[in-house]
Amino acid sequence: MNNNYRGKSVLVVGAARSGIAAARFLLASGARVTLTDTQKLEALPNVAPLLNSGLDAGELILELGGHRDASFRTCNFIVVSPGVPLSMPFFEISRKAGIPILAEIELAARHLKGKIIGITGSNGKTTTTTLVSELLTGSGLKGHAAGNIGTPLIDFVAASSAEDLYAVELSSFQLEGIEQFRPAIGSILNLTPDHMDRYAGFEEYIAAKRRIFLNQDKTDFAVLNADDARTDAMAAEVPSTPVRFSRLKTLGYGAFLHNGILTYRDKEREIKLFPAEVIRLKGAHNLENVLAACTMALLAGANPESLEESVQKFRGVEHRIEYVAEIVGVQYFNDSKATNVDATIKSLEAFPGNILLIAGGRDKAGDFTVLRALVRERVKHLVLIGEAAGKIRKALSSTVAISEAISMQEAVSMCSHLARPGDVVLLAPACASFDMFQDYEHRGRVFKKAVQDLLPSRDCNTESVS
């Protein structure tokens, strides 16, 4: 384990998954770690295993239930979890004291062996990251999925080797805290307004995303969506070599759809990869995700002939337009990861109509009025939950019949009684989950459990609900 931190005093801010992983790494490296969080110990289930696992050469100090000024003033450096805004006033204390503030991915990248494939964007990050990892593995390479997808990048450091390829999902929050972080391949999949409750405006959000290319040079690659005007414009601005993907137009360099065939063209060759019909995922946006993933896998050294089999096997990721069950001719889909308005648009576009939509949660300063035309066209009934229910009702008034539910269970029950054979019940909230749930994954699991609870009393045809 790295010994650079022996005797160093490090403040880790945020005791969620990334913070715990960073603390574990630093403790094993001999650091004196202060772990701070606004929540108390009983609300932080991941802290107890850290205490019980042994502290190796380091020393752990817990400051839970609130932050302390002195800790932000007296440490050697700070590691911040992605959920903690760098605009938090406590960080001003550190900046004035000249104390470095690093993201967990920055700390990890400084010690990781192998190449990083960094993937960000407003939507599709998890699906694309997972698929890139599977395409690499399917081609016989040492591919891993890491980052905001679930396993913190720093957890891979100890066992990393030069042959490893890390597909890393990156949020704008994580990218705010990088200094030297440099992916060999970086991608912005798309850009639509998100997290407007955290950023002063859309341009500030875009600037955070663009940091993925900050330290690249011409030997690196920037994979960009040619069908998104904002990302397409970046091709002329990035310091690395731009490679684009498109489902709408033919490209001179990159991946595109031509006569129903996914095709890749570089400076030396054109390769027909596979027919679009082998893709099992719903929605045009998932065709874009597959094009992006194939581009990155090929740039990382994957064998073109191996891609079709991996794509054909790929059934998507939990909570992303995830098929749950069919009950009395009604299909239930979980898209709990649709945490912003644009993601909900993509979710609705994946179905031709007859949708009973469950939406709502904690508002991220989204503009719900842009949903009006699509809701009027494809939604039969809208069931609202959570803090934003009133705002969404006002934004979508007169488009469709609207009901409100006090729980996910009640929302699913309402939909099951209103639905008829051939209909789709879709959870696509357009909001964050934190008003009622721990996170979007918890929200999705509660939805799936509520669907499962419909089964004993009804004659149904269903797959198992995980």
Distance of alpha carbon 178 from the chain centroid: 18
Helix axes 284-299, 341-349, angle to 10 degrees: 110
How far is the CA of 345 from the CAs of 28, 123, 239, in angstroms? 45, 11, 33
pLDDT tens, N- to C-terminus, the chain (466 residues)? 456 899 899 999 999 889 999 999 999 999 999 999 999 998 888 888 877 665 556 799 999 999 999 999 999 999 999 888 888 999 999 999 999 999 999 999 999 999 999 999 988 899 999 999 999 999 999 999 999 887 999 999 999 999 999 999 998 889 988 999 999 999 999 998 666 567 778 889 899 999 999 999 999 999 999 999 999 999 999 999 999 999 999 999 999 999 999 999 998 899 999 999 999 888 888 899 999 999 999 999 999 999 999 999 998 888 989 999 999 999 999 999 999 998 999 899 989 999 999 999 999 888 999 999 999 999 999 999 999 999 999 999 999 999 999 999 999 999 999 999 999 999 999 999 999 998 999 999 999 999 999 986 444 443 433 3
Asked, for residue 462, whether it belongs to a domain, the answer is: no
Same domain, residue pair 439 and 306: no
Q: Return the structure tokens found at 129.
A: 């990251």
Asked, for residue 48, whether it belongs to a domain, the answer is: yes
Same domain, residue pair 291 and 185: yes
Q: Return the structure tokens found at 181.
A: 């972080």
CATH number of the domain within which 437 lies: 3.90.190.20
How far is the CA of 171 from the CAs of 42, 144, 353, 402, in angstroms? 27, 18, 32, 33
Residue 267: the pLDDT is: 85
Choose the final residue of a domain: 259, 285, 313.
313
Parent domain of 387 = 322-452
Same domain, residue pair 167 and 306: yes
Beta-sheet strand order (sheet of 32-37): 59-64, 32-37, 9-13, 77-80, 101-103
Same domain, residue pair 80 and 149: no
Residue 283: the pLDDT is: 81
Q: Return the structure tokens found at 291.
A: 């094009």
Asked, for residue 83, whether it belongs to a domain, the answer is: yes
Contact in structure between 180 and 111 (CB atoms under 8 Å):
no
Choose the final residue of a domain: 313, 332, 361.
313
Concatenated DSSP letters of 109-178: HTT--SEEEEEE-SS-HHHHHHHHHHHHHHTTSEEEEEETTSS-GGGGTTT--TTEEEEEE--HHHHHT-
Asked, for residue 224, whether it belongs to a domain, the answer is: yes
Same domain, residue pair 280 and 141: yes
Same domain, residue pair 175 and 289: yes
Asked, for residue 446, whether it belongs to a domain, the answer is: yes
Asked, for residue 26, whether it belongs to a domain, the answer is: yes
How far is the CA of 334 from the CAs of 311, 317, 412, in angstroms? 21, 10, 11
Same domain, residue pair 175 and 95: no
Asked, for residue 458, whether it belongs to a domain, the answer is: no
CATH number of the domain within which 283 lies: 3.40.1190.10
Same domain, residue pair 330 and 446: yes
Q: Is residue 80 within a helix (H) or strand (E), and if so which, with residue range?
A: strand 77-80
User: E-strand spans in 266-343?
Assistant: 270-275, 322-327, 330-334
Same domain, residue pair 122 and 270: yes
Residue 2: the pLDDT is: 57
Asked, for residue 457, whether it belongs to a domain, the answer is: no
Find residue 32's DSSP bridge partners: 9, 59
Same domain, residue pair 220 and 128: yes
Q: How far apart are CA 6 and CA 9, in angstroms?
A: 9
Residue 282: the pLDDT is: 83
Same domain, residue pair 54 and 85: yes
User: E-strand spans in 170-253?
Assistant: 185-188, 221-225, 241-246
Contact in structure between 27 and 58 (CB atoms under 8 Å):
yes
Count of H helices and E strands in the chain?
A: 16, 20
- Domain count across the chain: 3
DSSP for residue 432: B
Specify burial of residue 3 (Cβ count, 10 A radius: 0-12, 13-18, 19+).
exposed
Q: Cβ contacts of residue 154 below 8 Å, gap of 6+?
A: 18, 21, 22, 25, 104, 105, 107, 108, 111
Q: How far apart are CA 236 and CA 245, in angstroms?
A: 15
Choose the final residue of a domain: 79, 99, 119.
99
Nearest to 459 by CA among 407, 421, 415: 421
Nearest to 166 by CA among 140, 138, 141, 139: 141
Same domain, residue pair 350 and 212: no
Residue 461: the pLDDT is: 42
CATH number of the domain within which 79 lies: 3.40.50.720
Q: Return the structure tokens found at 138.
A: 């399917």
